[in-house]
Amino acid sequence: MAKMKFGSIEEDIVTREEFTLEQARGALAGETIAILGYGVQGPAQALNLRDNGFKVIVGQREGTSSWDKAMADGWVTGESQFSIEEAAKRGTFICYLLSDAGQISSWPTIKPHLTKGKTLYFSHGFGVTFKDKTGIVPPAEVDVVLVAPKGSGTSVRKLFKAGKGINSSFAVFQDASGKAREKAIAFGIGVGSGYLFSTTFQKEVYSDLTGERGVLMGAIAGIIEAQYNELRSRGHDPSEAFNETVEELTQSLIPLISENGMDWMYANCSTTAQRGALDWLPRFRDASAPVFKALYDSVASGKEAEIVIEANSRADYKERLAEELGRMRNSELWQAGAAVRKLRA
């Protein structure tokens, strides 16, 4: 496998040139891959694996929108789509892709089907890492592995269909067969990963929860609101405030950073922008550093897990979520965004 060096740090990296799709099929030959859950990651992983020639079935709660979505995607009731319990019984490679709250509530039903020789797979280290809160303790006689694509299920499927790959981490929590690492890598290649980097279940969930609450979602949304509100308070119109805060970021600068790196983006902006950005960067970094420290401490202590489990287990969670997202959608900031998107050339 490839080694990637960052100074004195050497990482294990696996690419699909080194571990081919043909090798992946061989490593999982004879396995019946059961995808339990058809919400965020389930559809993309199931469809990508099916398209790549693996034997896949899906497990859903009958009568739900997810069941109907799976049927629309070509999964046939009684042949390739079953109840969650039946899919777990039939599968040999059990992919536990329900929500974190769903994993907790379904665990007593799933655990009896995790018999010797099977593999239990996750795309998130939450349930196992916080087992004292979730009750998810895998039987000793099964392999327990993880592949975590670094993007939404929509991105996993979109990139796959475009002939590209998404970066993913992989980890082994329990190696009962002696082949758990090979299985994890094979699965990652099977779902369309461009390359995989090794981690642990704990590191995956710690970095994931920090990232979601930080730069990936929480922090960027908060910074956007702060700048937009400041521009509006200084007399700038909504369109101007939105374009200078969000539109230029997402439509111009982020793609340049993705393609060539931050330094290249800086080098290809005006000298005025370069100087100002370089001067203010340390102030934003230093101001946010204590917030990220507090965030990581909250994740590592299990506090964030407790909040998630308590909130997501409420019977009215979806209604509360819809209300919160509705306030965001109907705010002046994101109403301005909706108007700007309609006017894109």
Which residues does the annotation mark as catalytic? 124
- Output the CA–CA distances (angstroms, integers) from residue 180 to 9, 90, 142, 253, 320, in the order listed: 25, 20, 9, 41, 40
As beta bridge partners, residue 122 has: 146
What element of type H or E holds 173? strand 166-174
Neighbouring C-beta atoms of residue 226, cutoff 10 Å: 11
**Burial state string for 273-297 with b = 16 or more CB within 10 A and e = fewer than 16:** eeeeeeeeeeeeeeebeeeeeebbe
Sequence-separated (6 or more) residues with CB below 8 Å from residue 159: 151, 165, 166, 192, 194
Going by C-alpha positions, the residue among 65, 62, 101, 94 that lies closest to residue 78 is: 62
Q: Which residue has the tokens 């998130």?
A: 124
Neighbouring C-beta atoms of residue 158, cutoff 10 Å: 14
SS3 5: strand
- Output the CA–CA distances (angstroms, integers) from residue 81 to 36, 77, 154, in the order listed: 10, 5, 21
**HSE-CB for 7 with a 13 A CA cutoff:** 0
Residue 211: phi, psi to the nearest 5? -65, -45
